[in-house]
Chain A
Amino acid sequence: MKADLLAEFETPEALLAAVEELYRRGYRVLDAFTPYPVHGLEQALRLPRSKLPWLVLPFALGGGGGCYGLQAYLNGWDYPLDVGGRPPHSAPSFVPISFEMMVLATALMGVLIFFALCKLPELHHPIFEVEGFAGASQDRFWLGIDGRDPALKRGTTEALLASLGASRVAWTGETAKAAETSEAVKKPTEAAEEVPGAVTKEEPS
């Protein structure tokens, strides 16, 4: 997902309504950028559940099981210690460390996989150059449309976004430079008037 066309909304309601409206109009490669996880967006964006738990599960099992095996080898076989006449391989006393290592392995790999899934760290990104995008981590709600989205049309989409209540509409990176020279760039409010059917509230039929 590359957010090429961005639109800023003032409220989570407006963003959510815009996402739903865009989906209805055939837009499929969308994303939202918000200061906190806005509930309901995952359904609106048709995003699948995170695979994180399944990805860390093998490491949890490996960490716990591996650590049990290590203890059994160290104290039960390679260097047996007779403590109070208990068997060298005494399962209950290997449980605590196995549990701790299961947790440690899950946490360490969980963080790494989490960042990998988010494609972080990525310190520089063209999206940061968009004016006002800093608000996405504070009090503004941004919507992104991928440049490869089949429904995206330069000129029309900007107007549609403005009509949905976007307070800002902007292109990122190279597309922004290209857009500057193209005649399609108009002030969102002006463009909105020219697009028939770009109305926020549709009557239920």
Chain B
Amino acid sequence: MSTSVPISNEKPVAAVNTDDPVGRHPLVLGGLGFKSITDRVAGISLGKTPKTWPFALALAVSLLMVLGGSLGWLVSQGVGVWGMNSTIGWAWDITGFVFWIGIGHAGTLISAILYLFRQKWRTSINRAAEAMTIFAVLAALIYPAFHVGRVWFAYWMLPIPNQMGMWPQMKSPLLWDVFAVSTYATVSALFWFVGLVPDFATLRDRADTKTKQIVYGILSLGWRGSHRAWLHYERAYQIFAGLSTPLVLSVHTIVSFDFAVSILPGWHTTIFPPYFVAGAIFSGFAMVVTLMVVARTALGLKHLITMRHLENMNKIILATGTMVGYAYGIEFFMAWYSGNPYESFALMNRVFGPYAWAYWTMVSCNVLFPQLFWFKKIRTSIPAMFAISIVVNVGMWFERFVIIVTSLHRDYIPSSWSYYRPSLVDMSTFVGTFGLFLTLFLLFCRFVPVIAIGEVKGVLPAADPHNPHDAHDAHGEKAGVEHHG
């Protein structure tokens, strides 16, 4: 598909390449230059509201209200409105928590790890992916916050001096999680904001009404694009990327410690940290593909979020999906090789027990379907990648469900064995978190530059003053620029 996109640049594709290996597609198509990129992206935030947007927002907000209702009901009645019992103390709540946290990790991978690896293709997708991270982490935070039952005592998790003279148990992975996830949310938001400041300045400079000028003016903090500021900006960006890279690995490692540090068969394995991190990136990229396939069409950004970007993400899905499949295999190997009968029982129960349906859903979604991305035709087909990305999201939700529930529901005493069924409130809470996520994402798409305008300009061939040719590509707003989509 990428080859069929009309390229109005006069130069052949290879001549306008921004990174070396010959024959790669340019990161920006359609002959877009400094001005037209600004027009296109800023136009989304400053222009008229698209006709479908209010409807999408209304739908998202109604789901958000479902979340509010579910949580209100939970607070008024107690955690018993969820379908858990004393055998299965964790179920959809922690599944939802790990599901959302995992999704967030792709955003950080794109914004931080790919930055450190000098992957220029990240520039068109990092803003939206980082937004996805923040909103997904917010959705995730709801679960532990409300699972404590008496939410008004949630502050007990923090080391705040109190009249009881007690302190939190700092040796518990659950408390590590409190610090890891809250740090992750804060750092992601700060990183995102730092990147947004120059783009808010662009919106401020283009604002057509006083209100927009004031709002974006305040958000941009008065950014002027001075080169002195840019030098600090780039250094700050590097520091943030350098911090976020170990941070994102630590967050999902600590999430996996919630399980791995316990002595429960099925949870107590050393492969969990890397396995969870790979799974998180896998599910997160699937969500980015789902969102970007829709957003690039809905917002007219096909020249900026090109097939090359999508294909690269599909390759990462393929790689991480394969790692996840490897981890599934290793779990079995270790259960057998360790000779631990409880571990073997937990694994056999997982595959052939009452939750076998969930296990095989997980395996087919996460291991089989992503393997189709070995084929370039499928990797570059919009309908195929959209379908597979949704399948992966479903599969990764099931992975967490399988790990949590199948390990818990048959413990050492057969008399306490049980079968977990979600309650209506379980389901409405989970659906509601999508409402929160989508509401925030729709607001983001409407009012915030969905593409890092300044960064994309930086990867244009014309951006480099030492580039001997193509000096005018970014300025020569060639005819046919408006011919897109």
Contact = CB atoms under 8 A, between A and B. Distances in A.
A86 interface: yes
A128 B205 CA distance: 9
Contacts of B250: 96, 99-100
Given A37-B227, A120-B222, 14 more contacts: A3-B226, A13-B465, A31-B226, A35-B225, A35-B457, A36-B457, A96-B173, A99-B250, A117-B229, A120-B223, A121-B218, A137-B201, A138-B202, A138-B206
A49 interface: yes
A86 B202 contact: no
Nearest to A1: B228
Contacts of A13: 465, 471
* 5 residue pairs, one from A and one from B, having the closest CB atoms: A139-B34, A134-B205, A121-B221, A50-B235, A37-B230
Q: How extensive is the interface on chain B, given as a class?
A: 35 or more
Interface string A42-81: 1001010110110010000000000000110011001101
A74 B170 contact: yes
Nearest to B236: A114
Interface of B: 33-35, 38, 159, 165-173, 175-176, 179-180, 183, 186-187, 190-191, 193-194, 197-198, 201-202, 204-206, 217-218, 221-236, 239-240, 243, 246-247, 250, 254, 257, 453-455, 457-458, 462-466, 471-472, 474-475
Nearest to A144: B226
Given A36-B463, A74-B170, A53 B235 contact: yes
A110 B228 CA distance: 16
A70 B222 contact: no
B454 A75 contact: no
B222 A125 contact: yes
Most chain-B Cβ atoms within 10 A of its Cβ — which of A33, A81, A97, A106? A97
5 contacts: A33-B224, A35-B225, A96-B180, A123-B218, A134-B206
Contacts of A124: 222
B127 to A, nearest CB: 14
Given A36-B454, A38-B227, A93-B170, A139 B35 contact: yes
Contacts of B228: 1, 31, 47, 118
A32 B462 contact: no
Nearest to B452: A36
B171 A111 contact: no
Interface string A114-151: 11011011111101100000111111001010000000
Nearest to A75: B170
Contact of B33 (A45, A74, A123, A139): A139
A181 to B, nearest CB: 27
B465 A123 contact: no
A175 interface: no
Q: How extensive is the interface on chain A, given as a class?
A: 35 or more
Interface of A: 1, 3, 10-13, 15-16, 31-42, 45, 47, 49-50, 52-53, 56, 70-71, 74-75, 78-79, 81, 83, 86, 90, 93-94, 96-97, 99-101, 103-104, 106-108, 110-111, 114-115, 117-118, 120-125, 127-128, 134-139, 142, 144
B221 A97 contact: no
A104 B166 contact: no
A4 to B, nearest CB: 14
A78 to B, nearest CB: 6
Contacts of A117: 229, 232
Contacts of B165: 79
A42 B186 CA distance: 31
Contacts of B179: 96-97, 100-101
B39 to A, nearest CB: 9
Nearest to A60: B243
A127 B205 CA distance: 12
A111 B194 contact: yes
Contact of A34 (B194, B221, B230, B240): B230
A56 B190 CA distance: 15
A53 B35 CA distance: 34
Contact of A122 (B222, B243, B464): B222
A43 to B, nearest CB: 11
B224 A136 contact: yes
Contacts of A144: 226
Contact of B166 (A3, A49, A79): A79
A26 to B, nearest CB: 20
Nearest to B203: A137
A102 to B, nearest CB: 9
Contacts of B217: 123
B201 to A, nearest CB: 5
B224 A125 contact: yes
Contact of A45 (B172, B225, B227): B227
Contact of A33 (B175, B225, B233, B243): B225
Most chain-A Cβ atoms within 10 A of its Cβ — which of B191, B457, B471? B457
B321 to A, nearest CB: 28
B83 to A, nearest CB: 30
A100 B190 CA distance: 15
A110 B236 contact: yes
Contact of B171 (A39, A52, A81, A135): A81
A103 B187 contact: yes
Contacts of A12: 462-465
A122 B228 CA distance: 15
Contacts of B34: 35, 138-139
Contacts of A39: 464-466
Contacts of A120: 197, 221-223, 229
Nearest to B166: A79
B231 A47 contact: yes
B172 to A, nearest CB: 8
Nearest to A96: B176
Most chain-B Cβ atoms within 10 A of its Cβ — which of A31, A49, A107, A123? A107
B231 A81 contact: no
Most chain-A Cβ atoms within 10 A of its Cβ — which of B197, B464, B465, B475? B465
Contact of A74 (B168, B191, B193, B205): B168
B253 to A, nearest CB: 8
Most chain-A Cβ atoms within 10 A of its Cβ — which of B170, B180, B232? B170
A120 B226 CA distance: 11
